[in-house]
């Protein structure tokens, strides 16, 4: 399935599925490159290369699924506290990250999200 839209690099030590899983693990769980490199047994620089390559591939494959509302809809749905001061705001980026301990039980892990 993956080989239909991505080619394996010539000097790759991992197969495509492993590279995709590394990317998804980094996106979902926020693992550091050093942690992923240790888990998989490859160089930290290679983790970064894999992540950026797959991020670009996933964007190109799924970009048509991203829908952005028109300006009228954005203005209509702008939070009230923004309407006076930030009339032309079209996007609010929230980069808040909280580190927490994850329970060992799977059922308890799913409850934390």
Average of per-residue pLDDT across 91-106? 76
What's this model's pTM, rounded to 2 decimal places? 0.61
Kindly provide the b/e burial profile for residues 86-111, where b requires at least 16 CB atoms within 10 angstroms of the residue's own CB: eeeeeeeeeeeeeeeeeeeeeeeeee
pLDDT of res. 12? 76
Pairwise CA distance, residues 51 & 39, whole Å: 15
- For 59-73, how does the pLDDT look when each residue is reduced to its tens digit (9 = 90+)? 888 889 988 899 899
How is the chain split into domains, by residue range? 2-111
Alpha helices in 1-113 (DSSP H): 16-29, 33-40, 44-62, 71-76, 80-83, 106-111
Pairwise CA distance, residues 34 & 56, whole Å: 21
Pairwise CA distance, residues 39 & 22, whole Å: 10
pLDDT of res. 1? 57
CB 33 within 8 A of CB 44: yes
Q: How many residues are there in the chain?
A: 113
- For 4-20, how does the pLDDT look when each residue is reduced to its tens digit (9 = 90+)? 777 777 677 888 889 99
Identify the three-state secondary structure at position 77. coil
Average of per-residue pLDDT across 27-43? 93
Mean pLDDT of the chain: 85
């Amino acid at each position: 399935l993956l080989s239909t839209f991505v080619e394996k690099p010539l000097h790759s030590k991992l197969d495509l599925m492993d590279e995709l899983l590394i990317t998804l693990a980094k996106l979902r769980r926020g693992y550091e490159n050093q942690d992923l490199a240790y888990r998989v047994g490859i160089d930290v620089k290679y983790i970064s290369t894999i992540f950026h390559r797959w991020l670009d591939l996933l964007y190109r494959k799924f970009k048509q699924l991203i829908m952005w509302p028109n300006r009228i809809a954005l203005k209509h749905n702008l939070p009230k506290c923004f309407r006076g001061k930030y009339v032309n705001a079209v996007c609010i980026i929230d980069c808040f990250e909280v580190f927490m301990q994850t329970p060992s039980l799977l059922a308890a892990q799913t409850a934390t999200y």
